Structure formats: C-alpha cells, structure tokens
Amino acid sequence: MKIIKSDFISKGIRCDGDLLLPDNINNPPVVIMAHGFASQKNFGLRPYAERFIEKDMAVFLFDYRTFGRSDGEPRQIVDPFHHVEDWKAAVAHVRNINEVDGGRISLWGSSFSGGHVISVAASDDKIKAVIAQVPFMSGTSSTSMKSFPDIIKSAVYGIYDVIRNTVGLSPHYSPVIGRSGTFAAMNSEESYDGYMSIVGNDQIWENKVASRVFLKMLMYNPSAKAKKIKANVLIMAAKHDSLIPIKAIEKCAKNITNCKLVIMDCNHFAPYTGETFKKYIGTHVEFLERYLK
C-alpha cells in the first residue's frame, strides 16, 4: 500500500486528505471516506480502508474543516451543511487525481457521515455506489431518542452559542460524549465507551463541540433526499442503536431505488471494532466489488 498526502480546499479552507493506493494496480476505483459526529479520519476507519485496498480499490480519507489536521477556526465546529460542502469538494478533488479512476467513485459514511453520503449522492448522479453505516437520518428523528431535559438544554445552549457567534464571541462548547445521566451531544448508555473505543490515544481531539450544532441538526434531513439517489446503496443499520431510530432508517431505505438494507445485531458503535467488525466487513467488501469494480 502506498500513502500520498492529498489535501484539498473547501470554501477557501484546507481539508486534510490521504490517498491510499493498492500496490501494482493502475487507475483503481476509489472509495471516499470521512467520519461522523465530531470525529476524525483516524478514528477506526483505517481497518475498513485496508480491507478495501486488499481488494485492489483505492481509498481517500479526509477530515472536515476545524477537525483533525484540517484548517479552520474556531475548532470543533460541527455543521452538517458545511460537512456536505466538504464532501462535495472531496469528490471534485478525487475526480482530478491521476492515480485513480475518477469515473468509479464510491462514498462511505458512518453515523453522521452516513447521512452526508446520502445527501451528496442525491445531488451527484455520477457516484457509482454508496455505503451508509448506522446513518443519521434527520435531526427530528435523532432528537426523539433524547430525554426532555436534554432537549431543553440543547436548545438553550444552542441559542446561546448562536448569539455569541453573532456578536463575534468565542463558541459555547458542549461535550461530544458523556456518561448516561450527564449532558452531552451523545450520552446514551453505549455512547461514552463506544466513542472512546475508536478515539484511542489521539492527542488532537477534544471532547467538545460548538453548541450551535443542536440547532443546525434540527434543520438537517438527509433522508428527505433519498428518492433522488441513482447509485446503488448499501445501508448497514444497527438493531440496538440508541442514537438513530431504526424505523427511520428502514423508511429511508424503502425510498432508495437500488438499496440493500442489512440490519446488524449490535448497537451504534459496535461495527467499528472486534467481532462485529469481523462479522460484517465482508458485506461492505462484496458490495463494493459488485458495483465499483
């Protein structure tokens, strides 16, 4: 495997990107990958990428603006509409990379980015295949999984952060993850340990996100665009997901013309590691080999 640094510009800001190439393969198809909510490309995506490369596919990994080693200030700003812009900029960038076949592109997203790849594919008929793992469906469906006190706190903190931003002050931050009973963007029983299982010993990431995201998410509804997707789609849902209602995922899958829905017997964070990863990674590989190669 060969790794090439391959950054790109999104709305004037540099996004950190890595192109991973299989050995001795000319113009391979390419899988574009980015992570979910407040995450970085080094959080558990590499094992997926390595399996795809073993099957003679290239992989392009990138971080959103304000995360990881990408530029952008202030840091840790999760904005789904900005994320989608970053995805589109990444696709445009990859199509102009000489080492890969820009006509055979697949999008791979998980959790929050599972919603992003649905949004991007709905507006780009040239995308060949899409994998959306435990995908975010809409702000309203995810909010329905939260407690009433957390919903009120999210609204108050979100409005406060928007006001601070309007008058030029630094962001008000909320925790990305927290133990059950504490306030955080994700605080279900599985969230803290599950999220930390992919963070590892990263020295850059901080457990904080600008609180305006709570309001932005309510306006974000990738599932509404599902009918526009022309690409073949694989959706990997989790039966015991505490963050994404599985009924919302099933409804979205029915609205995609060419969609395979697989319901995994696990929670939201299990697919990244251990036995659950080993059990289902073959489904990802087989799908990409069928529709991308």
Q: 206 φ, ψ to 5°?
A: -125, 145
- d(C-alpha 246, C-alpha 264), whole Å: 11
Q: Inform me whether the pLDDT recorded for 77 exceeds 90.
A: yes
Chain segment 83-114, per-residue pLDDT in tens: 999 999 999 999 999 999 999 999 999 999 99
Nearest to 233 by CA among 104, 83, 106: 106
SS3 at position 34: strand
pLDDT of residue 137: 98
pLDDT of residue 56: 97
Q: Is 38 in contact with 67 (CB distance < 8 Å)?
A: yes
Q: Inform me whether the pLDDT recorded for 49 exceeds 90.
A: yes
Q: Inform me whether the pLDDT recorded for 293 exceeds 90.
A: no
Q: Inform me whether the pLDDT recorded for 203 exceeds 90.
A: no
| Per-residue pLDDT band at 200 (split at 50, 70, 90) | confident
Chain segment 153-173, per-residue pLDDT in tens: 999 999 999 999 999 999 999
Q: Is 109 in contact with 36 (CB distance < 8 Å)?
A: yes
Q: Is 15 in contact with 63 (CB distance < 8 Å)?
A: yes
pLDDT of residue 291: 96
Residue 276 tokens read as 């659950």
pLDDT of residue 91: 98
- d(C-alpha 213, C-alpha 6), whole Å: 28
- Going by their DSSP bridges, the two strands 129-133 and 232-238 should be labelled as parallel
Q: Average per-residue pLDDT in the chain?
A: 97
Q: 190 φ, ψ to 5°?
A: -85, -15
Burial of residue 103 (number of CB atoms within 10 Å: 0-12, 13-18, 19+): exposed
Q: What is the mean pLDDT of residues 146-151?
A: 97
| Per-residue pLDDT band at 201 (split at 50, 70, 90) | confident
CA 290 to chain centroid, in Å, comes to 23
**Per-domain boundaries in the chain:** 2-138+220-291
Domain 2-138+220-291 - what CATH class? alpha beta
pLDDT of residue 38: 98
